[in-house]
């Protein structure tokens, strides 16, 4: 989709350059997109052009010099973010196609997303991710299986705790969708087309990924993207490559430990926690919370209560420009005898730390090399978890500060708080700056 005017980039375009042709690191945004697609075997590309579209056609022509085949669809007038899809069916030979907005820089493992789309038998799959500014981004609300229930516009007043799950402007769609769009009609992709599909019970799914994708529709974001391209961060975050993660315990590490935290009112971020997570976000590491929450097994709260606390955690971090790539928790506790215990969760499991089920699941999901990753926490249980999983380990002197006495496990790094520990980890990796 390359028909936008790019009003936010007028300082660079001077209304003489179409938005997708704005240079990022001396190369048009659209060229970065085409090259990433070509590298993964996508050779047949249709570009929808509108404002100053002739300049796009003059630059790319038939795509031969870029190793792809390019055809064009011309909007005679603006048709919104989905209206032009009605013109695509004659050009679509396969059942599914990627739809990409022209102001998005990305490096994504397309095969993983396509596999998810097929497994879910989805009519539409949205690439979603956390970002550093969820408060001014459109959010995608979905269930535990990934099925999208609704959208929350950035223009809405949010009086609730929310997941940092943002629509990235990258889609995988079934071609049948195009046939239901009236010709030459202005249609909004999210507000009208996808919302209508959801209302009709069609399978619309959110594909969550930690990979690099950035809306570069402002001058500031272009500058940041250029830095990230120069550092190699963009390509490193693709799930085609092995990832590194900093696994974070929750209570006593990310938030203040006040006994068992099982109500959202009890949750408060540790001082400097948001700054620490921001530093992780800007490094080559993923930031993933892995936490034991036996409060469910003990009957103090339910799964939804824990998830509400985690939504609060994501909201508070997002308000300070930080985000988590994933949150995983174990609700089990093997010891019986608590007055209000929930028998369904009173079991021995592989996910409860110091066992490594949560680390292993994340390693599989995000293609993580555990030997190049870190486990950070406030207890010897966390340190033993890291050792069991083959990660490096770090102890924060907040929360229990290693005084739980459950394991004889010495950390590789110690620090006053999470920020101090993260800085030491990044210094070791040569990424602190």
Longest dimension (CA), the chain: 74
Q: Omega before 318 cis (within 30°)?
A: no
Q: Which two tokens mark 344?
A: 């369904």
Alpha helices (H) along 23-175: 29-39, 53-60, 110-119
Instruction: Name the catalytic one among 215, 249, 325, 382.
Output: 249
Q: What is the DSSP track for 24-53?
A: ETTEEHHHHHHHHHHHTT--EEEEEE-TTH
Q: 151: burial class by Cβ within 10 Å (0-12, 13-18, 19+)?
A: middle
Q: What is the DSSP track for 306-323?
A: HHHHHHHHHHHHHHTT--
Residue 330, strand partner residues: 292
- Judge whether 396 and 426 are in contact, CB under 8 Å: no
Tokens 């299986």 -> residue:
145
218, 227, 230, 246, 339 from 223: Cα distances, Å: 9, 7, 11, 26, 57
CA-CA distance, 186 to 309, in Å (whole number)?
A: 40
Catalytic residue status for 107: no
Q: Which two tokens mark 181?
A: 């769009």
Question: Is the CA virtual torsion 189, 190, 192, 195 positive or negative?
Answer: positive
CA-CA distance, 58 to 71, in Å (whole number)?
A: 12
Q: What is the DSSP track for 229-286?
A: HHHTHHHHTSTTS-BEEEEE-SBTTTB---SS--SGGG--BPTTHHHHHHHHHTTTEE
Q: What are phi and psi of 320, to 5 degrees?
A: -110, 20
Question: Would you say how long the chain is, in residues?
Answer: 433
Where b means 16+ CB within 10 Å and e means fewer, 247-260 reads bbbbbbbbbbbeee
Instruction: Name the catalytic one among 103, 138, 215, 251.
Output: 251
Tokens 């269930």 -> residue:
143
Known catalytic residues are 249, 251
């Amino acid at each position: 989709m390359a028909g936008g005017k790019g009003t936010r980039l007028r300082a660079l375009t001077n209304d003489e350059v179409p938005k997708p042709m704005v240079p990022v690191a001396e190369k048009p945004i659209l060229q970065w997109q085409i090259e990433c697609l070509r590298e993964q075997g996508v050779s047949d590309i249709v570009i929808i052009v509108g404002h100053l579209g002739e300049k796009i056609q003059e630059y790319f022509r038939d795509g031969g010099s870029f190793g792809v085949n390019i055809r064009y669809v011309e909007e005679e007038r603006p048709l919104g973010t989905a209206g032009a899809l009605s013109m695509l069916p004659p050009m679509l030979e396969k059942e599914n196609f990627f739809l990409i907005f022209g102001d998005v820089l990305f490096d994504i493992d397309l095969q993983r997303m396509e596999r998810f789309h097929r497994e879910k038998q989805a009519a539409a799959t949205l690439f979603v991710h956390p970002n550093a500014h969820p408060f001014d981004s459109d959010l995608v609300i979905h269930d535990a299986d990934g099925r999208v229930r609704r959208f929350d516009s950035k223009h809405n007043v949010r009086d609730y705790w929310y997941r940092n799950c943002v629509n990235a402007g990258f889609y995988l769609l079934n071609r049948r969708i195009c046939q239901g769009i009236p010709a030459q009609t202005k249609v909004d992709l999210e507000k009208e087309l996808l919302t209508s599909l959801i209302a009709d019970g069609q399978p619309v799914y959110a594909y969550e990924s930690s990979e690099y994708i950035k809306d570069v529709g402002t001058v500031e974001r272009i500058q940041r993207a250029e830095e990230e391209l120069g550092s190699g961060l963009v390509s490193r975050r693709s799930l085609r490559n092995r990832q590194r993660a900093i696994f974070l315990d929750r209570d006593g590490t990310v938030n203040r430990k006040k006994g068992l935290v099982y109500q959202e009112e009890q949750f408060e971020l540790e001082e400097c926690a948001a700054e620490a997570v921001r530093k992780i976000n800007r490094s080559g590491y993923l930031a993933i919370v892995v936490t034991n929450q036996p409060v469910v097994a003990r009957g103090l709260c339910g799964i939804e209560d824990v998830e509400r606390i985690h939504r609060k955690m994501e909201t508070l971090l997002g308000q300070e420009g930080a985000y988590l790539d994933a949150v995983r928790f174990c609700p089990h506790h093997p010891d019986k005898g608590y007055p209000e215990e929930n028998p369904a969760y009173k079991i021995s499991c592989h996910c409860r730390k110091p066992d490594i089920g949560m680390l292993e699941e994340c390693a599989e999901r995000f293609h993580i090399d555990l030997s190049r990753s870190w486990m950070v926490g406030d207890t010897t249980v966390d340190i033993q978890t890291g050792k069991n999983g083959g990660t490096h380990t770090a102890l924060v002197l907040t929360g229990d500060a290693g005084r739980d006495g459950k394991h004889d496990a010495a950390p590789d790094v110690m620090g006053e708080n999470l920020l101090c520990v993260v800085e030491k980890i990044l210094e070791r990796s040569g990424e602190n700056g």
